[in-house]
Structure 1
Amino acid sequence: MSDVDGTERKRPNILVTGTPGVGKTATASLIAETVGLRHVNVGELIAQHKCYEGYDDALDTHVLDEDKLLDLMEGIFQECADEGMGIVADYHSCELFPERWFDLILVLRAKTDVLFDRLTERGYGEKKRSENLEAEIMQVVLDEAKESYDVEIVHEVTSNTVEEMESNVERCRLWAEQWIANNS
């Protein structure tokens, strides 16, 4: 696989995506640790570098400055490639990222009762919690991933329990080992 500047990459890049509360950050962090990739929490990156254009009171969220975020991430991808390192990024949306960035898209799914409890624990208000539950029921993120990337690299997995998360991490480890073997 070629990198942003056309050089061959030595490590894969993975995107872990899904509705808020499905376990993206925990899963991505474990994948990074297990596989030896750099974890990029896109939400933290956005906050840290103020990649937003304003605030939407009705949706209770910042309005993303996609250009600023993508420019910032392009630099991170290049830096990691120069170091022979791969990335595992996590974010609740995926259609904004260039298809060439990722070798695997992992879409985490959770049952609505599990998701409801997780979002309640986070202090989500009724409106925001309902919107996210509806998005999960309607499989918005999964459909977005399938429309934005080659369906061969999009994998839907459940993330209701710690055991499922550990299984997902192990599957990614095995997949990454095979990717490295195939691309060395």
Structure 2
Amino acid sequence: MSDNDETSRKRPNILVTGTPGVGKTATASLIAEELGLKHINVGELIKQHKCFDGYDDTLETHILDEDKLLDLMETLFQECADENMGIVADYHSCELFPERWFDLVLVLRTNTDVLYDRLDKRGYNEKKRTENLEAEIMQVVLEEARESYDIEIVHEVPSNTVEEMESNVERCRLWIEQWVANNS
């Protein structure tokens, strides 16, 4: 996406990020549905287009091919910009994406007792569950977002309940209205 395309966008792009299990996909889906944005579930995109370089047996996860993923996403972002459509993408990491792609970065945070139950329900093994709980406690994704993007576009929001999720969608609605007003 060229700088010219970036500045002429009619709709903003949002990244919803956080530790696995905090509700990224559910929140991003609601934002997309209610606010008319295209939802990109990056994890699903990786699976569909086989953007991986092997498998980590210990963590029971694929090893990401970042170049393949970013090339694929660059095309999607350009197509959406050409169609005057904004994007809401969700992924558990944010540092690999170019800063110019996003106008707002929502970092979802969840209490560890809630997160533990969600990860347990997903069938995560103990090692994977422990690593993700420690990442949430240590604010790993939040710090990664603050280091990767302009601090003014990074917002930490709670994601423990359906009500908090709905509140986050409403905050995005208000933010998008302001973004559109400022950029028209």
Structure 2 CA distance, aligned partners of 1:161 and 1:58?
31
Deviation of the 1:5 alpha carbon: 5.5
Residue identity over aligned pairs, in percent, reads 82
Structure 2 CA distance, aligned partners of 1:114 and 1:165?
14
For 1:6, the aligned partner's letter is N
Runs of 4+ in 1 over 4 A off after TM superposition: none
Residues 4 and 74 of structure 1 are in contact (CA less than 8 Å); yes or no, is this contact kept in structure 2? Answer: no
Question: CA deviation digits over 1:18-73, x for unaligned, max 9?
Answer: 00000000000000111110000000000000000111112211110000000000
Structure 1 CA distance, aligned partners of 2:154 and 2:117?
27
For 2:4, the aligned partner's letter is G
- In the superposition, the TM-score normalised over structure 2's length comes to 0.97
- In the superposition, the TM-score normalised over structure 1's length comes to 0.97
Deviation of the 1:4 alpha carbon: 3.5
For 1:160, the aligned partner's letter is N
Which residue of 2 is the match for residue 127 of structure 1?
A: 127
For 2:124, the aligned partner's letter is Y
Residues 22 and 110 of structure 1 are in contact (CA less than 8 Å); yes or no, is this contact kept in structure 2? Answer: yes
Number of aligned residues? 182
Which residue of 1 is the match for residue 16 of structure 2?
A: 16
Which residue of 1 is the match for residue 99 of structure 2?
A: 99
Structure 2 CA distance, aligned partners of 1:4 and 1:65?
23
For 1:93, the aligned partner's letter is S
In structure 2, the residue corresponding to 1:123 is in which secondary structure? coil
Which sections of structure 2, spanning at least 5 residues, go unmatched?
A: none
Residues 28 and 88 of structure 1 are in contact (CA less than 8 Å); yes or no, is this contact kept in structure 2? Answer: yes
Which sections of structure 1, spanning at least 5 residues, go unmatched?
A: none
Which residue of 1 is the match for residue 51 of structure 2?
A: 51
